[in-house]
Chains A and B, each alone.
Chain A
Amino acid sequence: MRRRPEIVLLVVALTALHFTILAAAFIAPYDPAAQDRDLPYAPPTRMHFRDSSGWHRAFVYRWIPDRDGYRLDTSTRYPIHFFARGESRSVLGIFRSNLHLFDVDEPARLLLLGTDSFGRDEFSRLLYGGQISLATGLLATLITLAAATLMGTIAGYFGTWIDESLMAVGELFLCLPWFYFLVGARAFLPLHLSAAGTFLLLIIVIGIIGWARPARLVRGMVLSARNRNYVLAARGFGASNVYLLRRHILPETFAILVTQAALLIPQYVAAEATLSFFGLGVSEPVPSWGNMLSPLQQYNVLVSFSWLLAPAVALVITSVMYWLLADALHHWVQSHSIN
């Protein structure tokens, strides 16, 4: 790790990203489902520090609906309150808090990324939507890797017909076009479910479909670890299968699993986003990065309201960071296995 500062850097950056998303209830100025029918497609509010009367602490102006869009009402300044007390919100369903990072007084609104067609604050939705999208990615990856470790270890360790039949099933999953299969699998599951139900379903479907490739890698690792001299020696001393697996063989697969996780998470986040974009995933009013992009299928929305592309930017940032991490981890593991 000492010679790879970029890994540390990326892990820190990703942790920061995840904590920001996790703290949505604190950072988001508004409830993600709160509508304001007077302010559909309001552009982002800019933070100001000075006006004609000189410098002030950070403040915003209010959008007034106009014949053709919105105009700024520059007559009144609305200062931004930091660490303000506001409406009480549930934090991840564990406890309630009314502490917000920033807030402005009514009737002005702090719209950092504008609003969508229902006047909902895009920034708040981005944070809350990130919770759904990232949680899908993380949990589905967990399922994939658990299944892959189980199958790969069984196949690699016990060999013979077990190995062959498991790998045959794996090849079956590999030769199905991944995304078609995902959509196809989704086709057979109920379309209209509660948000929580859809969320769980998505995680399971996405997670299970991808098991084959990492399972192959795990199998290869187990296969080579099984015949190492120290494993053979331990077996000679009478070590049980469980002991051998836990003590000597599974730790060998750890590096592969971490690298695979860094590769799979962004892929699965994107899979959730794509399914939700098509209306097959998490549905309104619960936000996710995918269904927030969904209105952009209409060209006029796509052209006129560019701030609605914010979830796409979030997806890119997340994916690029995870990808760089996977790349760095891969090189790190490789350089270690050679030395």
Chain B
Amino acid sequence: MTYVFHRLLRAALLLLGVSLLCFLFTEMAPGSFFDEMRLNPQISPETITSLRARYGLDRPLVVRYFRWTASAMHGDLGYSIAYNAPVTPLLWARAKNTLLLTLTATLLTWLLGVPLGLMTGSARGKFADKLATPTSSFLLSVPELVLAVGLLALAVRWRFAPVGGMMSLGFEDLSPWEKIRDMAVHMLLPVLILVLGGVAVVERHVRVSVLEVLDMPYIQAARGLGIGRARVLFRHVLPVAANPAISLFGFSIAALLGGSLVVEVVAAWPGLGPLILEATLSRDLYLVIGAVLFSAVFMIAGNLIADVILLASDPRIRPGEPDAS
């Protein structure tokens, strides 16, 4: 329990650090949202000064940081200047779309990746392994942007999936069943990109750890005792080989919000990605900080969850001091 407590404390400290880091970046920023306004002769300097005062931008950095942190505790991440609305609901609306996309993709990635890794790992040197290893190497090395643009090109050309957005034009008039179907079809392309990018990573991790465990003496012993292949694999290899995979699973959770930016923008999925990009281009400070913080929360939570699962699944790290992992 102390271990979990330590981890929680650490996560909280990290979060504080992240918010501080974000704020330091704002201090270093030479430009601001009002730069364009300043160039406009119709807007007087006084108007800009009063606007700055209204958004609290005239206060010193420390004051702004503490006020922002205090309100962030209540779930208020500030005010978007470009959207003229509070940041949190804006982010939340988009984050739901992102989560819908990434949860589906992550689920599929793991459902595909673990069996593939087990298969290729236990069939070392055989045909399946020889085919899978170069394929996964290729998928691992191709930049996400290229994968996304390439698949988009194929989707547009072959029309195997609708491109852009989350729903068709007449979405409101559809029956609930058709609505689900419509969204699923629109999700096809971004999910495909994410799964192709992710499945190789999972497959690699599982394969490597399966290979490692297969060489261990106790597995040789189990084989020697005449225990069947499947039983050895699932009963004796998998629990031990699961360890690195669980850490990786934590990363998967961690990347739920932050990992799909490129794909969302390329496939025009209305998630956090396009929002943060627009916010960046319009220099909408609090929105950007909010989005980074939002996804950092997931990142930290994901690692925390992985630590806890590891603790539950692996007796080797349980006893001893809190930082044994």
To the question of whether A and B form a pair in one complex, the answer is yes
- Measured CB to CB, the residues of A under 8 A from B are 168-169, 171-172, 175-181, 183-191, 266, 269-270, 273-274, 277-280, 290, 293, 296-297, 299, 302-303, 306, 309, 312, 315-316, 319-320, 322-324, 327
Residues of A within 8 A of B146 (CB): 270, 312, 315-316, 319
Residues of B within 8 A of A189 (CB): 29-31
Q: Are B156 and A188 in contact (CB under 8 A)?
A: no
The one of B28, B140, B266, B289 that contacts A184, using a Cβ cutoff of 8 Å: B289
* A296, B277: Cα distance in complex, Å: 17
What is the total of A-B residue contacts with beta carbons within 8 Å? 144
* A181, B30: Cα distance in complex, Å: 18
Residues of B within 8 A of A309 (CB): 149-150, 153
Q: Are B279 and A187 in contact (CB under 8 A)?
A: yes
With A172-B17, A323-B140 given, is the CB distance from A186 to B31 under 8 Å?
no
Q: Are A177 and B280 in contact (CB under 8 A)?
A: no
Name the residue on A nearest B297 (C-beta): A175
B232 on the A face (CB < 8 A): no
Residues of A within 8 A of B156 (CB): 299, 302-303
Name the residue on B nearest A171 (C-beta): B14
With A181-B292, A187-B288 given, is the CB distance from A302 to B21 under 8 Å?
no
* A168, B11: Cα distance in complex, Å: 11
With A189-B30, A274-B262 given, is the CB distance from A180 to B276 under 8 Å?
yes
Name the residue on A nearest B295 (C-beta): A177
| Chief secondary structure at chain A's binding surface | helix
* A187, B259: Cα distance in complex, Å: 18
Which B125-177 residues have C-beta < 8 A from chain A? 137-138, 140-146, 149-150, 152-153, 156-157, 163-164
Residues of B within 8 A of A327 (CB): 137
Minimum Cβ distance to chain B for residue A283 (Å)? 12
With A303-B153, A309-B153, A323-B137 given, is the CB distance from A278 to B22 under 8 Å?
no
Tell which of B28, B142, B257, B283 has the most Cβ of chain A within 10 Å.
B142
Residues of A within 8 A of B303 (CB): 175
Which B274-311 residues have C-beta < 8 A from chain A? 276-277, 279-281, 283, 285, 288-289, 291-292, 295-296, 298-300, 303
| Chief secondary structure at chain B's binding surface | helix
* A274, B262: Cα distance in complex, Å: 8
Minimum Cβ distance to chain B for residue A50 (Å)? 33
Known: A180-B292, A324-B137. 13 other contacts (CB 8 A): A172-B14, A172-B18, A175-B18, A175-B296, A177-B258, A187-B29, A187-B279, A187-B283, A188-B288, A191-B31, A270-B143, A279-B281, A293-B149
With A176-B292, A180-B295, A190-B31 given, is the CB distance from A299 to B143 under 8 Å?
no
B97 on the A face (CB < 8 A): no
* A316, B144: Cα distance in complex, Å: 10
* A168, B17: Cα distance in complex, Å: 9
With A191-B31, A296-B153, A303-B157 given, is the CB distance from A184 to B18 under 8 Å?
no
The one of A188, A278, A315 that contacts B143, using a Cβ cutoff of 8 Å: A315
Residues of B within 8 A of A290 (CB): 145
Q: Are B141 and A320 in contact (CB under 8 A)?
A: yes
Q: Are B143 and A177 in contact (CB under 8 A)?
A: no
* A278, B18: Cα distance in complex, Å: 25
Minimum Cβ distance to chain A for residue B83 (Å)? 15
Tell which of A177, A185, A315 has the most Cβ of chain B within 10 Å.
A177
Minimum Cβ distance to chain A for residue B137 (Å)? 7
Q: Are A274 and B153 in contact (CB under 8 A)?
A: no
* A213, B255: Cα distance in complex, Å: 17
The one of A175, A277, A316 that contacts B14, using a Cβ cutoff of 8 Å: A175
Residues of A within 8 A of B234 (CB): none
Q: Are B31 and A175 in contact (CB under 8 A)?
A: no
With A312-B150, A319-B143, A324-B137 given, is the CB distance from A183 to B277 under 8 Å?
yes
Residues of A within 8 A of B55 (CB): none
**A and B contact pairs by CB, cutoff 8 A, 16 listed:** A168-B17, A175-B299, A177-B258, A177-B292, A180-B291, A180-B295, A184-B280, A188-B25, A188-B31, A290-B145, A302-B149, A315-B143, A320-B137, A322-B141, A324-B137, A327-B137
Q: Are B21 and A176 in contact (CB under 8 A)?
A: yes
